[in-house]
A and B are shown apart, each in its own frame.
Chain A
């Protein structure tokens, strides 16, 4: 299957290692990811108001680019997914916003683009993954969702579940023991790393506490789906190892 792929600024620069892992996992699973020829930074956070349509232009331009070749777009960064989805939603729901944004775009967005998170592609390939995994370690997995993929309700990828279990379902089908902890959708601190480091430390501490309480004596690894969550969880605690989900899968497939 061939998909258009939107890496986002992080995965092309500081998160290059994640991007590589995504491309490799896709190759192994027979998914072709063709990178968008012209793409723009999505702006990382969705904050437009009634009178500031220019703030979603970056995201909309990516969708226009996609429209030229396909009606689907795959992204692996949680922030990009969140912004693209919400920008597209506002565009089609608010007529006035659409008119104002159209004034800046080369062409209008005619139909909704189906925005797919790389995780959804994995869900379809469970048997293939199972057969490719060479070695499993004895660690249990704590799947951390973060906020960008679970909110706002009704729009985000995992938002319709009261207690999202899709990550856990995938990995338990792959034969792992799952630790289900209460704070898996609690914010990691996000970009406050620069402006208020202690807030991030506090958030991460609470997440770790929740995992500790649920895991008990089990050895545990944390899986993340967002490069920023990955960064915050890695740097502000050293109790558990943290892996980006595609990095984790790649290491299982490679056997190291």
Chain B
């Protein structure tokens, strides 16, 4: 074996390390070690001159191992690996000793710190002598993306990826794309008509040749890894052939079955064969088979022979290189707060239900009527189901303050004589134009009273909202003809199931967890899977669109690279030692261990292995070895700590 020639570099890190650790003494001690050819100290090793020092030494002293004693490897391991790579060494021949976060930053005792630094650098040198060259692998990336969820976030992500020239599958579980934004009347603060700004984007989706739209479909199973995902999609039985259907509606007219329309939040009926809303994309009808009585009238009435009552679900398999999750939110169910009387009184509505009432194509065609009468007083309540430990949602839903202000404004616009009261705890008008909008709404005569109501009951034919006005300091009982609960956003149950399939992590509030709360808001914990929109946390439309664009750009960057490098710090099985006992297989969190039935030994799938270290520790015969963290490399460090030379 060639002679080991180690260069050791101890960084001052300004005063961060040198202020506590006597770096010169560390260098002097380490110089005495076997195999150490050169040992230096320098003010900032990560700077250009610092790196040049290393590169010069590698050439001059013919070094073949480098030890850098400085900050945490999480800071600069990639930096120094690059440095020695540029000087011609394999980047995995670098060892770092953390004498900052683990030493100079945790004590003020200079003697103890120096002694510890010496120990840490000593064992780093010992390990360096056992390091081996390792080579990264490249895996090709399939340049096709899957976007799960056809709301505004999913639509925007699909459009951006498609416009960059890559194929996208857009999968949506409802019969039409559009999501919750399609249900809204107007959007805050600009008061744009929601459908008017959404439908052009929905049409763009159909016109873009790179987008393969799959509506009424759900993701069944996902396997694989970044660049190479295999996805099984269930195409639910629509009962209607979308290529033949002209959306004439004659099937719907004759259908005898009435069920509550989900798009109108159950406030209006639809037939078993239906189109969710007139601007649906794709503009075809769908049969909800759980409601269909199979009478066959629609089939008889269809002029285009588009109906097939025996339609069955189909499983479609696709291969994609990246997945974007944009599954959105659902509204908090106010039945969890029975004191508000939702369900008991017809005059208590949720935010989305009231939005449908305000909408011109909604159950009342845009007329604000309750029990057939125009209300003379309406009360809005903030924070229903949000900021509330009692229902397990301590978070703020972010959009309710503004959507209530918007709805209050719309009421004042259409019913100028109606008394509108808003009960609030705070008014969070944080975005662009939000505070101005809120001021305008107050100026229009909407009364804001501070206090969170505790209960709603009926007195005669009026509802009474009981609350404390915390500013005036009195208990008030406000009468109302209609109460709108500002219900918050909660994670969808279907998203929780999807997270299990994709092995995505969840945050404490059950929304999908991003890789880093500040710096990586659209990455998930799985490489190649990105998050955008409300499935990652409550947010309004501009933020959802921004995140969708962010996710799309990450996907495009991945596809542009065409290959993905896999770090070689992985496990491998020494087949001679493997008895095929399968103990390791169940322990792998990434399902990276496979049984080779011919050779009757286990094998590591290097595309999936993340180098977590569980299988080498579990293997009873020691057959599995972790590259770059072999037993010998670890043992020599332990030995180095326990026994001073």
- Classify A-B as touching or not with yes or no (CB < 8 A): yes
Q: Chain A: residues with CB nearer than 8 A to chain B?
A: 153, 162-163, 182-183, 209-210, 213
**Given contacts A162-B335, A162-B336, is CB(A182)–CB(B341) below 8 Å?**
yes
Q: Which of A182, A209, A210 has the most CB of B within 10 A?
A: A182
Contacts of A209 in B (CB 8 A): 457, 459
Docked CA distance A153–B339 (Å):
15
For A210, list chain B residues within 8 Å (CB).
457
Closest CB-CB distance, A102 to chain B, in whole Å?
Answer: 33
Do A163 and B338 touch (CB < 8 A)? Answer: yes
Please give, as numbers and ranges, the residues of chain A lying within 8 Å of B440 by CB-CB distance.
none
Verify A182–B455 contact, CB threshold 8 A.
yes
| Contact residues of B between 329 and 372, Cβ < 8 Å to A | 335-336, 338-339, 341, 344
Residue of B nearest to A180 (CB): B344
Chain B residues positioned under 8 Å from A183 (CB to CB): 457
Can you list the 7 inter-chain pairs with the closest CB atoms, starting with the nearest?
A: A163-B338, A213-B458, A182-B457, A162-B338, A210-B457, A162-B336, A182-B341
- A-contacting residues of B (Cβ < 8 Å)? 335-336, 338-339, 341, 344, 390, 455, 457-459
A182-B459 in contact (CB<8A): no
A206 (CB) vs chain B CBs: closest residue: B457
B336 and A182 within 8 A (CB): no
Beyond A162-B336, A182-B344, A209-B457, 12 extra complex contacts between A and B, CB < 8 Å: A153-B390, A162-B338, A163-B338, A182-B338, A182-B339, A182-B341, A182-B455, A182-B457, A209-B459, A210-B457, A213-B458, A213-B459
Q: How far is the CB of A3 from chain B (nearest CB, A)?
A: 33
Q: Which residue of A lies closest to B340 (CB)?
A: A182
Most interface-central of B335, B336, B339 (chain A CB within 10 A): B339
Tell me the minimal C-beta distance from A243 to chain B in angstroms. 24
How distant is the Cα of A209 from the Cα of B455 in the complex, in angstroms? Answer: 14
Q: In the assembled complex, which residues on chain A have CB atoms less than 8 Å from the CB atom of B341?
A: 182
Tell me, in angstroms, the Cα distance from A163 to B341 when the chains sit together: 11
Instruction: Give the distance in Å from the alpha carbon of A162 to the alpha carbon of B390 in the complex.
Output: 11
Closest to B337 in A: A162
| Closest beta carbon of chain A to B461's beta carbon, Å | 10
**Across-interface contacts of B455 in A (CB, < 8 A):** 182
Query: Of all chain A residues, which has the CB nearest B341?
Result: A182
With A and B bound together, what is the CA distance between A163 and B339 in angstroms? 9
| Chain A minimum-CB-distance residue to B458 | A213
| Chain A residue at minimum C-beta to C-beta distance from B345 | A182
How long is the Cα–Cα vector from A90 to B514 in the complex, in angstroms?
40
- Cα–Cα distance between A213 and B459 once the two chains are bound (Å): 7
Chain B residues with Cβ under 8 A from A162's Cβ?
335-336, 338
- Taking a contact as CB atoms under 8 Å apart, the answer to whether A213 and B338 are in contact is no
Identify 11 residue pairs between A and B in the complex whose beta-carbon atoms are under 8 Å apart, listed by A's number: A153-B390, A162-B335, A162-B336, A163-B338, A182-B338, A182-B339, A182-B341, A183-B457, A209-B457, A213-B458, A213-B459
Task: List residues of chain A with CB within 8 A of the CB of B459.
Answer: 209, 213
CB distance from B284 to the nearest CB of A (A): 40
Q: Which residues from B are CB-within-8-Å of A182?
A: 338-339, 341, 344, 455, 457
Cα–Cα, bound, A182→B458 (Å): 9
- CB-nearest residue of chain A to B455: A182
- A163 to B334 alpha-carbon distance, docked (Å): 12
Nearest CB on A from B340, distance (A): 10
- The answer to whether A213 and B457 touch across the interface, beta carbons within 8 angstroms, is yes
Closest to B466 in A: A206
Q: How far is the CA of A182 from the CA of B337 in the complex (A)?
A: 12
A6 to B339, CA, bound (A): 34
The smallest C-beta distance from B394 to any residue of chain A, in angstroms, reads 16
Please name all residues of chain A whose beta carbon is closer than 8 Å to the beta carbon of B335 when the two chains form the complex: 162
| Set of chain A residues within 8 Å of B458, measured between Cβ atoms | 213
Which residues of B are found within 8 Å of A163, using beta-carbon distances? 338
What distance in Å separates the Cβ of A184 from its nearest Cβ neighbour in chain B? 10
- Chain A nearest Cβ from B258, distance in angstroms: 28
Q: Which residues of the other chain, B, contact A153 by a CB distance below 8 angstroms?
A: 390
Q: Which residues of A contact B344 (CB under 8 A)?
A: 182
* Minimum CB–CB distance for A89 against chain B, Å: 20
Within the assembled complex, what's the spacing in Å between the Cα atoms of A213 and B461? 9
Report the separation of the CA atoms of residues A183 and B457 in the bound assembly, to the nearest whole angstrom. Answer: 9
| Chain A proximity of B371: nearest CB distance (Å) | 16
Instruction: Please name all residues of chain A whose beta carbon is closer than 8 Å to the beta carbon of B457 when the two chains form the complex.
Output: 182-183, 209-210, 213
- The CA-CA distance from A182 to B344 in the complex, in Å, is 9
A168 to chain B, nearest CB (A): 14
